[in-house]
A and B are shown apart, each in its own frame.
Chain A
Amino acid sequence: MDATTGIPPAVTEETAAFWSAAQEGRLVVEQCTACGATSFPPRGICRSCRGRETSTAEITDRGVVYSFTVNHQRWLPDLEVPYAMVLVEFPAHPGVRVTGRLRGCPAEETRIGMLVDIGFEPGPGGQAIPSFIAAGADA
């Protein structure tokens, strides 16, 4: 798969674990060692109890599309359009919403409430970006 066009992320102390797991096709979020709450994006602090000790937790559940858009505008010279982008939530992880591309169905068939599997694809700057896969069903 050719890398999608975009602007690469700055990788920081807080986000290195996410981008490194993404290379392996795994979605990891921050988890509080004290209260167990999961959160995204990683901030190095628990947004539930403000505990400063955090680790990572992998999410493998199917996600639900909170909302989406199909972009038609060529914002960068080599950008291929149209493409769908989805905001995905995970019912078992209330603090987590992840934005990514969507594949596995035509862009115009994207719907609020559809189920998606976690996936990644080659993105800008050698990073792997979230790229969810339509699961062919609604939540």
Chain B
Amino acid sequence: MGTEHLERRVVVSGVGQSQIGRQVDRSGLQLTLDAITAAVADAGLRLDDIDGLATFPGGGAANLPGYANGNLYEVQDALGLRTTWRQGIVEGLALPFYGTAQAVATGQARHAVIWRTVKEGSAARNAGGRPAYGSTKPVAEGPLAWLLPVGMLSPVCQVAPYAMRYMHEYGATREQLGWIPVTQRAHAALNPDAVYRTPLTLEAYLESRMISTPMCLYDCDVPADGATAIVVSAIETAGDLRAPVRIEAMAGVVEGRPSWDQWEDMGRVGHGAARAMWERTDLRPADVDVAQLYDGFTIEVVWWLEALGFCSTGEAADFVDGGSRISLGGELPLNTWGGQLSGGRLHAGFGHTAEAVRQLRGEAGERQVDGAQVVALGNVGGFEAGAALLTRW
């Protein structure tokens, strides 16, 4: 395969996170600055080396309280940077480093940082419960105009009919899906930064309250406060970096009818991105040592396992059943930091990417997968989709 692929001209050089918790009583700006300074130090760089700055989503693009934090210009001013490339991404974030990698690979920046800061845990506490998606705006616009008026007031309501359809077509059961949160909670117990670390049993999963059938409480990720920053650097700077990680392949594909209500079959949402990603590498699913798969909801993990080719369509519920394959020590350790289900909803693959980098460097502590060489990322739910392979330097 050609080294002309632009993602091979860059590396992920640093990851950094603020304090993470169900609630962290500091402003979004302070969490953001903590994460960026940590990520730049982690890369072995100085803040003055940073010339590209990006965030998801762009300022003010919030459909939920606490969803968007840190203004691009405020952060640049606070850190005293000079930038040659900036991006606030509201739509099209297939992978956290998708745009930054493109910018650095094409010479628009040499060391670019992207951050994602959430204060959704505090927002839920302040509202007395998880607020409706879209409740920050007086009317529902665009695709939401067909969902919020009829009572599809949260992404869980929106994904639930596709989970229902999947279970109907393939015979998948809640008893099988439950192994995803149970296994990820066991991984979270080994991650001191995870939001929930006490063991979760399959019985507790099955008895937990229903949110929107068939998705119960433990099928949903946990609103959290925290910031994650990721630094992408030009590959020719590798000698200056502490512990770079390669981007072997990445792709972002949106096809079909991209909305929560019109997808022909949301179970296939990641298939296009995965196929495009595998076309950019000689590696195969059997080469993957660790999987970091987007888990806004358990069913999205099922779909990513199939999209990336770890099992065939309709077989992922069998794949996760019992938890042995997806546990540490299993054939495909899954969401080793606890994922968004237990580690906290850091959102949009930022927590997953930070963990992928730590695993490839051998810096994942008690949850380290021995000799991890290749990590697969399957990212975003709903109708956006990105897939990537990160590999050891």
Q: Which positions in A face B, CB cutoff 8 Å?
A: 4-10, 12, 15, 41, 66-76, 79, 83, 85-87, 97-101, 112, 123-125, 127, 129-131
Contact = CB atoms under 8 A, between A and B. Distances in A.
5 contacts: A67-B162, A67-B165, A86-B161, A112-B164, A127-B149
B139 A66 contact: no
Instruction: Bin chain B's interface residue count.
Output: 35 or more
Interface centre among B130, B137, B138, B261, by most chain A C-beta atoms within 10 angstroms, is B261
B157 A71 contact: yes
A85 B164 contact: no
Interface stretch (B110-118, B190-198, B209-217, B333-341): B209-217
A69 B129 contact: no
Contacts of B132: 7, 75-76
B213 A7 contact: no
B153 interface: yes
B63 to A, nearest CB: 10
B172 interface: no
Given A7-B132, A112-B164, A15 B145 contact: yes
Contacts of A87: 161, 261
A129 B150 contact: yes
A6 B132 CA distance: 9
Interface string B283-302: 00000000000000000000
A74 B214 CA distance: 16
B262 interface: yes
Contacts of A86: 161
Contacts of B157: 69, 71, 85
Contact of A76 (B153, B160, B168): B153
Given A72-B210, A130-B150, A10 B161 contact: no
A85 to B, nearest CB: 6
A12 B137 CA distance: 16
Nearest to B154: A75
A104 B144 CA distance: 26
Contact of A79 (B141, B151, B215): B151
Given A6-B153, A79-B151, 19 more contacts: A6-B149, A6-B151, A7-B144, A8-B139, A41-B145, A66-B161, A66-B165, A67-B161, A67-B168, A69-B213, A70-B212, A71-B211, A71-B212, A72-B209, A72-B210, A73-B212, A97-B261, A97-B262, A123-B149
Interface centre among A9, A79, A101, by most chain B C-beta atoms within 10 angstroms, is A9
A121 to B, nearest CB: 10
B260 to A, nearest CB: 9
B261 A71 contact: no
Chief secondary structure at chain B's binding surface: loop
3 cross-chain pairs, A with B, having the tightest CB-CB distances, nearest first: A69-B160, A67-B161, A75-B153
Nearest to B134: A7
B6 interface: no
Interface centre among A7, A9, A127, A129, by most chain B C-beta atoms within 10 angstroms, is A7
B153 to A, nearest CB: 4
Nearest to B157: A71
Interface string B162-184: 10110010000000000000000
B362 interface: no
B209 A6 contact: no
Given A7-B139, A8-B140, A71-B212, A99 B153 contact: no
A7 B168 CA distance: 30
A79 B143 CA distance: 21
A100 B152 CA distance: 9
A28 B211 CA distance: 32
Contacts of A8: 138-140, 149
B154 A73 contact: yes
Given A7-B135, A10-B139, A85-B157, A69 B164 contact: yes
B166 to A, nearest CB: 9
Contacts of B137: 7
B135 A112 contact: no
